[in-house]
Amino acid sequence: MKDKEAERVDVLLVGYENHENLGLRSIMAYLLQEGHRVALAPFFPGMHDAVLEAARRHRPRVIGFSLIFQYALEQFGTLMRALRTAGVDAHFTAGGHFPSLRPEETLLLLPELDSVVRFEGEHTLADLIDRLDQPQEWRLVQGLAFRKDDTVTVNPARPLIADLDRLPPVYRNEPREAGPGIPMAAMLASRGCLFDCSFCSIRQFYAGASGARRRVRTPAGVAAEMRSLYDEKAVRFFAFQDDDFAAHSARERAWLEDFLKALRDAGLQGRIRWKISCRVDDLQPALLEEMIGHGLMAVYLGVESGSATGLRSLNKRVTVEQNLAAVELLKEHDVALAVGFMLFDPSSTFDTVRENVAFLRQVGWDGYFPVNFCKMLPYAGTPIEEQLRRTERLRGTLVDPDYGFLDPRLDGYAWLVQRIFAKRNFAPDGSVALLQRADFDERLSRSFAGLTPATGVGEQVARLAARSNQSVCETLEALMAHVLEGGIDGVLKRQDALVDLAERAWRTEMAIEIALRRLAAVRSDAQPQDTVAIPM
C-alpha cells in the first residue's frame, strides 16, 4: 500500500509527443519547482491504454490535456470518455489554442472536462491545484474557465509571463536522436509572434491576455541551457520550436547577434547544429552566414503562397519575389529546407492555383527539397475564420471546419487534389517525409566531422525529389485542364482518365519510396515519433 501511495501525483500531463512537447514540459518543470508531484503521459491517437495505465499507476488529482487545435477535440474526447468509463475520477482540465480562445464551446463539446486553463498554463494550473478542494475559490483563479452546476464561468485572463528567464528549464527525459549517434533536444528562445497572418491563431492566443505579444529569453540563458544539455546529455542537435525565430527588426537582429556571441562564449561554436522556423523577410544574408557559421543547418520557411492574391488574403505582408529570393538564398548557402505552402486558400481561383503550381515548379525543379502543399485550415479564433463566417462561407463543423470557393469547380478540383496527394504529402511513410528524412540525414552526417555519408547519396535524393516535384506539378496541371474542360461532373464521369492520372502519380511516388528505402540514409523501420524530419 505504501508503494502505491508513494506513486500518487498531483498532476498527470497528457499530450502529443512526436517531438518534445515544450509547453507541457515547461508546466511540468514549474509545478515540480513549486513542490507538486507531476507525471507526463505521451499520447498518440488510439493509444488510450498507455494513458489509462499511467492514470491508474499515478492516481492523479488532476489530469491536464494539451489540446492545441480543434481538430484534436474528437481524439481527446474519446480518450476522456475511456478514462471516465474506467473509473478515473480526477479533475480534468485542458489547455491550448482552441480551449483558450473558445472555453465555453470546449466545455460544452467535452462534458467529461471540468475546467480549461487559458493561455499560458504554468501559474494558472499551479493555482488550480492549490485550490482544487475549495471549488468556491475557483473564481479567484485568473486564467481559469470552469463548469459548476451546468454553468460555465470564464475568469479574467492571467497576464502573460513577462520574464521567461524566471521559469525553470523545461523537464526533459533522455534525448532522442536526430541521426545515428547524434542526440537532440527541442528548444524555445521566445514565445509569441508580432505578425498577424490571417490564418494563424498564434497572435490571437497571445493577444487574449495582457502582456507583450512576443517575449524572448536572454541570449545567455538560451546558450547556457544548450551548453548544459551538451555537457550532461551529449546533445549536439537543437530544434528550435519558436513560432518565429525572428530577425525582422533591428532589435531582433541585435538579439541574434548576442545569441551567437553567447554560443561562442559557451564554447559551442563548431560543436552543435540547430534548426529554426522563420518568415522569408527574417533572412538577412550577412546574419544568415553568421548563423550558419555557428551551427544553423536547417530552416522551416513560412512561404504559404506563390500568388500575390493569396499572400494578401493570408496577410503575409511579403511579395512573391521575396518568397523566391528567400528560397534561393537558403539554397545558395546549402541549408536544409522545408517550405510551408498552401495551394488553396479562401481567395483561390484557378488563376491563383496556376500561379502557385508555377511557383512550386520554379522552386522545386532541382529537387533541393520536396515541394509540399495543403489547403488552408480555418482555425478557430483567426481573422480568416471570422471573415468566412461573416460571408457565410464557413462549412463543416466546429471540430472539422471547412469552406467553399467562389467557383464551385474549384471545390471539386481541391477535393480530388487532396485525395490524390494525401499519402505523399502527409503520411509518415509518404515520399515527402522520406525525402526530407533522407536529405536531413545526409546533411547532418556531412556536417559533423568524422561522419562520412555514402558517396552520392545527396545527389540521388535530389534526383528523386526533382522527379517527385515534376510529377506533382504535371498532375496538378493535367487535372486542372480536365476540370476546366469538362467540369467536375465531366471529370468524374470519365473515370478511366481520372484513375489513370492518379495512378501515374501514385506509381511515381511508389517508385521513389522504394528507391529511398534502398539508401543507407533512410531507416526502413523509422516511426514518426522517432524521426526528426523537418516538420511541415
- From the list 9, 39, 32, the residue with the least C-alpha distance to 132 is 9
CATH 3.40.50.280-classified regions of the chain = 2-154
pLDDT score for 445:
87
pLDDT score for 523:
45
Give me the phi and psi of 339, to 5 degrees please: -125, 125
Report the Cα–Cα distance between both ends of the chain, in Å, rounded.
Answer: 47
More confident site: 420 or 522: 420
Distance CA 422, CA 428 (A): 11
Q: What is the mean pLDDT of residues 203-226?
A: 95
The type of residue at 461 is V
Alpha helices in 34-121 (DSSP H): 48-58, 73-85, 97-101, 103-109
Q: Domain 2-154, what fold?
A: Rossmann fold (3.40.50)
pLDDT score for 455:
61
**Per-residue pLDDT tens digits for 384-421:** 999 999 999 999 998 899 999 999 999 999 999 999 99
pLDDT score for 180:
83
pLDDT score for 528:
37
pLDDT score for 494:
86
**Per-residue pLDDT tens digits for 324-365:** 999 999 999 999 999 999 999 999 999 999 999 999 999 999
Class of CATH domain 174-530: alpha beta
Task: Give how far the C-alpha of residue 50 lies from the chain's centroid of Cα atoms, to the nearest Å.
Answer: 23
**Per-residue pLDDT tens digits for 511-521:** 999 999 887 54
Task: Name the pairing type of β-strands 151-154 and 144-148.
Answer: antiparallel
**Per-residue pLDDT tens digits for 264-297:** 999 999 999 999 999 999 999 999 999 999 999 9
Q: What DSSP designation does 235 have?
A: -
Grid cell in block for residue 532: 526528426
pLDDT score for 288:
97
Q: What is the mean pLDDT of the chain?
A: 93
Number of other CB atoms surrounding residue 397 within 10 Å: 11
pLDDT band with cut points at 50, 70 and 90 for residue 19: confident
Q: Is residue 439 scored above 90 in pLDDT?
A: yes
pLDDT score for 148:
86
pLDDT band with cut points at 50, 70 and 90 for residue 306: very high
pLDDT score for 450:
56
More confident site: 534 or 448: 448
pLDDT score for 453:
58
- Per the rule left: phi > 0, alpha: psi between -120 and 50, beta: everything else, 211 is left
CATH 3.80.30.20-classified regions of the chain = 174-530
Q: Is residue 430 scored above 50 in pLDDT?
A: yes
- From the list 482, 481, 505, 504, the residue with the least C-alpha distance to 494 is 482
pLDDT score for 451:
57
Task: Name the pairing type of β-strands 273-279 and 296-304.
Answer: parallel
pLDDT score for 524:
43
Compute CA distances 292 → 219, 272, 385, whole Å. Answer: 17, 11, 38
Task: Name the pairing type of β-strands 182-187 and 237-240.
Answer: parallel
Compute CA distances 150 → 90, 398, 457, whole Å. Answer: 18, 21, 61
Which residues 6+ apart lie within 8 Å of 235 measured at CB? 175, 183, 184, 185, 226, 229, 272
**Per-residue pLDDT tens digits for 496-509:** 889 999 999 999 99
pLDDT band with cut points at 50, 70 and 90 for residue 457: confident
Beta strands in 290-363 (DSSP E): 296-304, 336-344
- From the list 296, 297, 316, 295, the residue with the least C-alpha distance to 305 is 316
More confident site: 74 or 7: 74
Q: What is the mean pLDDT of residues 45-49?
A: 86
Q: What is the mean pLDDT of residues 176-190?
A: 94
- From the list 313, 497, 304, 478, the residue with the least C-alpha distance to 406 is 313
